[in-house]
Amino acid sequence: MFNIDGSPSPARPAPGGSKLPHSRYILRAMDAAFSEKIATLYRAHITVLKLRHDRALDAAGFDHAVIFAGAQHVAFLDDMGYPFKVNPHFKYWVPIVDNPHCVLVYTPGVKPRLIYHQPVDYWHKPAGPPEGWWTAPFDIEVIAKPEDAAKLIPKSGRIAFIGEWDDSFKAWGKLESNPPSLLNRLHFDRAWKTEYEIECIRAANETGARGHKAAEKAFRAGESEYEIHLAYLRAASTTEDELPYGNIIAVNDNAAVLHYYHHDRNVLDKKERHSFLIDAGASYNGYASDITRTYSQRRDEFAELIKAVDKAQLELCDAVVPKANYPDIHMMAHRKVAELLKEFKFVDLDPDAIVEKRISSTFLPHGVGHYLGLQVHDVGGFQKDPEGTTIPKPEGHPYLRLTRVVEPSHVFTIEPGLYFIEPLLAELRKSENAKYVKWKKVDSFRKFGGIRIEDNVVVTDNGHDNLTREAFAALA
Ligand code: GLY
Ligand code: MN
Ligand code: MN
């Protein structure tokens, strides 16, 4: 079913996400047929992981990988824990995201050993027994105390430890912590998502789209950022800790703060409300979606600009085909933003000159997207090869997170934006380029903050499937 790197073999059926009846995906997490499908794909996923780890361990000269799920961190001078964030290498193998002190031991040719932590604890709810659809690939050893793992760790050969290191692990034997020669190889392969991973990201998009629809409704009903956030969580049936990243729920000029994590409680009067940007995702089996939409309060020129950015975003998605160079898509986004700056009369210059003079970077100061998967900003985006040679970013574009060539079964975001960001506009105003800018027009748009449209796409053999648009269409 998969090549050794996880890319689909020619026998893979034509990518059919968009061709299946959309209703099939609604509430799929509760759907028995979907659960069966996930379980089947998971078995194939594990086969791919074994091949990838065999190859990486061999090339890096290791005999075993010991993958630590992570420990619970506690606040300074306190007994309150931070939300637990599992090691992505662990959830790659095991879809358990909420159980610290588990360990996966992988030795080529040997059934993977899962050391499963199940403490006796009357202060906290301990993990349940290791049961269910995901358990078959493992020899499972249950431990009551973290230190009990020591006796289950291999004692001979070269051992790579993957996870957050703590000196207490010295008691486990001679471990080499996070060797780059191994991690680079594993991270390089992570770019090719297995069908299991794609289905998980698809499901995370469905959940996210449900949250987005409820959030838009709450905005239209005049609710505060805080209330919109709650509407999102409820509709997506998710807790804050389960979100793949903090919800960005930005009304008005708060949309100009790229990582705006406040949730303002103020209910604004209708005439004080202008715009709404929401960047919010969801998780499924440890895989993320990452979705942004922008709305205008009125049918005004800002609404026209949103429509134009949305159209540009779809055109950028159309550029997602195998062999496309991702930095070219990023530069195409700059060109499209430049065209809009000209068309909407923010800047009086030809689009090429707007890009060339780097004026577009004031209005689009982030990369057009990034890999997506176990991590929101998934690893490996700069890797040229398994050894870890990097592909440089285009000069003047320091925030681009993906410089690789596009290949089937890659999953990434396409997220152009156009913002009115106070400190960046202040810089532009002081620069040589200030004379090209129609400041009165620009100033009149500051109250809207900005626009971002973000979808998650999976590359197919001859194009892409847009998981986010499919998820929204299913709810229409
Ligand atoms: N939500 C984070 C990002 O779009 O990259
Ligand atoms: Mn993103
Ligand atoms: Mn986002």
Of the ligands numbered here, which is closest to the C-alpha atom of 277?
3
Q: Name the token pair of 245.
A: 């990243």
For residue 142, report the distance from its CA to the centre of ligand 3, in Å.
Answer: 38
Q: Name the token pair of 180.
A: 């780059």
For the chain, state the CA radius of gyration: 24
> Whose C-alpha lies nearest to ligand 1, atom 3?
290
The verdict on the CB of residue 290 being under 6 Å from ligand 1 is yes
8 A C-beta contact, residue 84 and residue 125: no
Q: Is the dihedral of CA 314, 315, 318, 323 positive or negative?
A: negative
Mutate to test the pocket of ligand 1, among 205, 261, 290 (most ligand atoms within 8 A of CB): 290
Nearest-CA neighbor of 475 among 343, 351, 331, 291? 291
Three-state secondary structure readout of 54-122: HHHHHHHCCCEEEEECCCCCECCCCCCECCCCCCHHHHHHCCCCCCCCCEEEECCCCCCEEEEECCCCC
| Ligand 1, atom nearest to 292 Cα | 4
Mutate to test the pocket of ligand 1, among 212, 245, 260 (most ligand atoms within 8 A of CB): 245
DSSP annotation of 461 reads: S
> How far apart (Å, rounded) are the C-alpha atoms in residues 103 and 162?
10
For residue 369, report the distance from its CA to the centre of ligand 2, in Å.
Answer: 6
The verdict on the CB of residue 376 being under 6 Å from ligand 1 is yes
The verdict on the CB of residue 415 being under 6 Å from ligand 1 is yes
Q: What is the pLDDT of residue 17?
A: 35
Nearest-CA neighbor of 6 among 68, 60, 55, 40? 55
DSSP annotation of 416 reads: -
Please enumerate in sequence order all residues whose Cβ is within 8 A of that of 47, keeping only pairs 6 or more positions apart, or say none.
Answer: 1, 2
Q: What is the pLDDT of residue 32?
A: 86
Of the ligands numbered here, which is closest to the C-alpha atom of 244?
1
DSSP SS3 for 25: helix
For residue 43, report the distance from its CA to the centre of ligand 3, in Å.
Answer: 30
Residues with CB under 5 A from ligand 2 (ion): 290, 413
For residue 412, report the distance from its CA to the centre of ligand 2, in Å.
Answer: 8
For residue 333, report the distance from its CA to the centre of ligand 2, in Å.
Answer: 15
pTM of the model: 0.94
Cite the beta strand spans of 366-447 per DSSP E. 411-414, 417-419
Q: Name the token pair of 58.
A: 């061999």
pLDDT per residue of the chain (476 residues) written in tens, 0 to 9? 334 444 444 333 333 333 333 334 445 555 788 889 999 999 999 999 999 999 999 999 999 999 999 999 999 999 999 999 999 999 999 999 999 999 999 999 999 999 999 999 988 888 999 999 999 999 999 999 999 999 999 999 999 999 999 999 999 999 999 999 999 999 999 999 999 999 999 999 999 999 999 999 999 999 999 999 999 999 999 999 999 999 999 999 999 999 999 999 999 999 999 999 999 999 999 999 999 999 999 999 999 999 999 999 999 999 999 999 999 999 999 999 999 999 999 999 999 999 999 999 999 999 999 999 999 999 999 999 999 999 999 999 999 999 999 999 999 999 999 999 999 999 999 999 999 999 999 999 999 999 999 999 999 999 999 999 999 999 98
Q: Could you tell me the domains of the chain?
A: 32-189 (3.40.350.10), 195-475 (3.90.230.10)
Mutate to test the pocket of ligand 1, among 260, 279, 452 (most ligand atoms within 8 A of CB): 279
Of the ligands numbered here, which is closest to the C-alpha atom of 246?
1
The verdict on the CB of residue 279 being under 6 Å from ligand 1 is yes
The verdict on the CB of residue 245 being under 6 Å from ligand 1 is yes
Q: What is the pLDDT of residue 126?
A: 87
**Burial class of residue 462 in the structure, from the number of CB atoms within 10 Å of its CB (0-12 exposed, 13-18 middle, 19+ buried):** exposed
> How far apart (Å, rounded) are the C-alpha atoms in residues 24 and 442?
45
CA distances to 73, 124, 163, 435, 467 from 76, rounded to whole Å, are: 9, 20, 22, 51, 41
For residue 126, report the distance from its CA to the centre of ligand 3, in Å.
Answer: 33
* The dihedral formed by the CA atoms of 320, 324, 329 and 332, expressed in degrees to the nearest 10: -110
